[in-house]
């Protein structure tokens, strides 16, 4: 094959203090391909992309764009050359409108002033291209996380890039939106754009990527055509060893009811839903964004005030405005979806973040870390394979997936009766995912109940005893994952089988 190389890295090394994030990386990205970059949390994927974009200066090595050396160019210069990135962290300004958020990096100018009229035309065009319809004046903070993700994608596409980098774009969008994103990538490919795609979901890699480059510990291990790479080989290449059981499902006796939700209603988001979770059970809520998954969990936990219905835990009804603190007292744990905002304190170290559940409720800023806290933090780091395994490491210096492991670890290692887990394994690598699934298995074996909200269909099927499909705030169907195919479930998620039009 005679492919034209668009981006080339030669011998790139990048260190942060004592951490060697990239070691002597050579990489070619060819024109018009969708090129996957895969590897465990902390393998160096985001650092590689930031180095490509000029956000990090490499300690050694050279970068080339269309055979011209671009080492040392600034992010703005790289953008002007036609390279755009959608970062792993959602950099949206909540107080600004959707229009402003999309135009912020590349505003069209006229006589030294921002040309709003031209800007609006450009924004409408790009939203049309990605199939999104927004009220441009609306503040970005009023959007769901998934919608915000598409605003950022629109921002990256506004100047019609030649190369688009997507760093874990699907970790906060649902199955339905993932399909939408894939359509966008296909359309971009048809119009000659090259895409670099980072994800921890094998299914996505095999669906849309032409080539796969595997990274481990900051080194590029290999690059192969997707069709020549079996999933088993790929996982071994990423981990450096084989993975035996990805969904280590153990049979557990299902016992008494722990959670009972009856006719729950919340604004126009959750509409009269009833279901239960029993001890020993893992139940998954699936549905598109806007289906009401996160709101359902929020009402149960007490961070949202329900408008109607009954929620009982262990046969005891929770009051209408039970608080999150009462939630913890009653043995309910909620691992929220938006971890960066709700779940972690970036300037503190791992241990302080691990011990912050109880202390945070007493006093927001008092971190009293005793030996017990230290042991707990260490245990959580060990179990979830946090890298680097150093509980003194500052949270914001960890890679995205490793931050996530710390935040969820502190909940999973306490003894709760009911676990409400919102996208618990999103952004976590395949090795640690298997560990999390193992821990969930142990929790239900010990008599807990787990309610998952997930956008990962394989996870829902592989892990749950029952799957509840939500559609527009209602329960569309309850499914036995053992007897229902993945495609059928996808159809339900998109509203198939409901009596409603569209």
Binding segment for ligand ATP (CB under 6 A), chosen from 41-49, 278-286, 303-311, 436-444, is 41-49
Q: Which of 40, 43, 462 is nearest to 236 (CA)?
A: 40
Nearest distance from residue 344's CB to ligand ATP, in Å? Answer: 14
Nearest distance from residue 73's CB to Mg ion, in Å? Answer: 22
Residue 19 in the binding site for ligand ATP (CB under 6 A) = yes
Q: Which of 82, 102, 92, 87 is nearest to 56 (CA)?
A: 87
Q: Which is nearer to ligand ATP, 8 or 45 (CB)?
A: 45
Q: Which is nearer to Mg ion, 40 or 369 (CB)?
A: 40
CB 91 within 8 A of CB 152: yes
Report how far residue 104's alpha carbon sits from residue 350's, in angstroms, rounded to the nearest whole number: 34
Residue 54 in the binding site for ligand ATP (CB under 6 A) = no
Q: Which listed option, ligand ATP, Mg ion, none, makes contact with residue 226 (CB within 5 to 8 Å by class)?
A: none
Q: Which is nearer to Mg ion, 45 or 306 (CB)?
A: 45
Site string for ligand ATP, 403-432 (x = CB under 6 A): --------------------------x---
Q: Which listed option, Mg ion, ligand ATP, none, makes contact with residue 28 (CB within 5 to 8 Å by class)?
A: none
Residue 88 in the binding site for ligand ATP (CB under 6 A) = yes
Q: Which listed option, Mg ion, ligand ATP, none, makes contact with residue 41 (CB within 5 to 8 Å by class)?
A: ligand ATP
CB 64 within 8 A of CB 10: yes
Helices (H), 228-355: 231-239, 293-301, 324-329, 339-342, 350-354
Q: Where are the beta strands (DSSP E) in 398-445?
A: 418-422
Phi then psi for residue 442, to 5 deg, are -70, -40
Number of residues that bind Mg ion (CB under 5 A): 4
Token digits for 232?
């088993």
Residue 464 in the binding site for ligand ATP (CB under 6 A) = no
Binding segment for Mg ion (CB under 5 A), chosen from 66-74, 91-99, 396-404, 478-486, is 396-404
The residue at minimum Cβ distance from ligand ATP is 401
Q: Which listed option, ligand ATP, Mg ion, none, makes contact with residue 398 (CB within 5 to 8 Å by class)?
A: ligand ATP
In the list 29, 34, 42, 197, the residue contacting ligand ATP (rule: CB under 6 A) is 42
In the list 84, 88, 194, 453, the residue contacting Mg ion (rule: CB under 5 A) is 88
Nearest distance from residue 235's CB to Mg ion, in Å? Answer: 18
Number of CB atoms found within 10 A of residue 285's CB:
25
Three-class DSSP category at 30: strand
In the list 290, 400, 441, 495, the residue contacting ligand ATP (rule: CB under 6 A) is 400
In the list 47, 170, 237, 296, the residue contacting ligand ATP (rule: CB under 6 A) is 47
Report how far residue 172's alpha carbon sits from residue 337's, in angstroms, rounded to the nearest whole number: 8
DSSP string, 108-141: -EETTEE-HHHHHHHHHHHHHHHT----TTSBGG
Strand bridging mode 474-479 / 332-335 = unpaired
Q: Which of 300, 243, 254 is nearest to 429 (CA)?
A: 243
Residue numbers 427-446 binding ligand ATP by CB under 6 A: 429
Residue 24 in the binding site for ligand ATP (CB under 6 A) = no
Q: Which listed option, ligand ATP, Mg ion, none, makes contact with residue 21 (CB within 5 to 8 Å by class)?
A: ligand ATP
Q: What are the angstrom distances between the C-alpha of 428 and each of 200, 284, 342?
A: 7, 18, 18
Q: Which is nearer to ligand ATP, 168 or 177 (CB)?
A: 168
Residue numbers 32-51 binding Mg ion by CB under 5 A: 45-46
Q: Which listed option, Mg ion, ligand ATP, none, makes contact with residue 265 (CB within 5 to 8 Å by class)?
A: none
In the list 39, 119, 169, 336, the residue contacting ligand ATP (rule: CB under 6 A) is 39
CA angle 316, 317, 319 (to 5 degrees): 135
Crossing angle for the helix pair 486-493 and 175-190, to the nearest 10 degrees: 100
Residue 193 in the binding site for ligand ATP (CB under 6 A) = no
Nearest distance from residue 169's CB to Mg ion, in Å? Answer: 12
Number of CB atoms found within 10 A of residue 482's CB:
8
Q: Which of 245, 248, 294 is nearest to 423 (CA)?
A: 294
Binding segment for Mg ion (CB under 5 A), chosen from 149-157, 292-300, 395-403, 480-488, is 395-403
Residue 294 in the binding site for Mg ion (CB under 5 A) = no
Residue 119 in the binding site for Mg ion (CB under 5 A) = no
CB 186 within 8 A of CB 209: no
Crossing angle for the helix pair 400-412 and 371-383, to the nearest 10 degrees: 120
Q: Which of 420, 411, 330 is nearest to 376 (CA)?
A: 411
Binding stretches for ligand ATP (CB under 6 A): 16, 19, 21, 39, 41-47, 88, 397-402, 429
Binding stretches for Mg ion (CB under 5 A): 45-46, 88, 400
């Amino acid at each position: 094959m005679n492919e034209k190389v668009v981006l080339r890295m030669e011998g790139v090394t990048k260190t942060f203090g004592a951490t060697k994030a990239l070691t002597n990386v050579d990489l070619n990205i060819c024109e018009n391909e969708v090129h996957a970059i895969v590897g465990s949390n902390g393998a160096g994927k985001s650092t590689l992309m930031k180095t490509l974009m000029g956000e990090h200066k490499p300690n050694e090595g050279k970068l080339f764009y269309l055979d011209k050396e671009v080492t040392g160019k600034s992010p703005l210069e790289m953008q002007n050359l036609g390279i755009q990135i959608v970062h792993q962290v959602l950099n949206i300004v909540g107080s600004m409108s959707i229009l402003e958020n999309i135009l912020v990096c590349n505003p069209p100018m006229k006589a030294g002033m921002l040309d709003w009229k031209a800007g609006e035309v450009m924004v409408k065009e790009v939203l049309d291209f990605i199939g999104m319809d927004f009220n441009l004046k609306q503040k970005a903070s009023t959007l769901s996380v998934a919608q915000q993700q598409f605003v950022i994608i629109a921002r990256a596409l506004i100047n019609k890039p030649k190369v688009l980098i997507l760093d874990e774009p699907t970790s906060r969008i649902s199955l339905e939106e993932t399909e939408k994103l894939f359509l966008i990538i296909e359309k971009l490919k048809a119009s000659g754009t090259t895409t670099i795609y980072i994800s921890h979901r094998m299914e996505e890699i095999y669906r849309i990527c032409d080539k796969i480059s595997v990274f481990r510990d900051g080194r590029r291990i290999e690059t192969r055509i997707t069709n020549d790479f079996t999933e088993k080989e790929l996982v071994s290449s990423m981990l450096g060893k084989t993975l035996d059981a990805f969904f280590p499902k153990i049979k557990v006796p299902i016992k008494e009811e722990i959670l009972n939700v009856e006719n729950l209603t919340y604004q126009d988001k959750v509409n009269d839903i009833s279901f239960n979770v029993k001890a020993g059970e893992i139940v998954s809520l699936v549905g598109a964004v806007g289906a009401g998954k996160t709101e359902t969990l929020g009402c149960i936990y007490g961070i949202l005030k329900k408008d109607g219905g009954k929620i009982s835990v262990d046969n005891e009804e929770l009051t209408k405005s039970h608080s999150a603190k009462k939630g913890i007292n009653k043995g309910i744990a909620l691992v929220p979806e938006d971890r960066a905002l709700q779940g972690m304190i970036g300037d503190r170290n791992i241990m302080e973040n691990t011990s912050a559940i109880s202390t945070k409720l007493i006093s927001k800023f008092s971190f009293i870390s005793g030996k017990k806290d230290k042991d707990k933090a260490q245990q959580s780091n060990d179990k979830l394979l946090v890298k680097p395994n150093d509980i003194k490491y500052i949270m914001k210096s960890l890679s995205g997936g490793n931050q996530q492991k710390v935040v969820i670890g502190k909940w999973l290692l306490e003894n709760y009766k009911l676990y409400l887990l919102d996208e618990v394994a999103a952004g976590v690598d395949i090795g640690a995912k298997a560990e999390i699934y193992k821990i969930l298995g142990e929790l239900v074996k010990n008599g807990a109940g787990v309610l998952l909200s997930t956008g990962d269909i394989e996870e829902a099927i592989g892990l749950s005893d029952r799957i509840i499909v939500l559609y527009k705030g209602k329960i569309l169907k309850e499914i036995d994952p053992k007897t229902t195919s993945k495609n059928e479930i996808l159809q339900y998620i998109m509203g198939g089988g409901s009596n409603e039009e569209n």
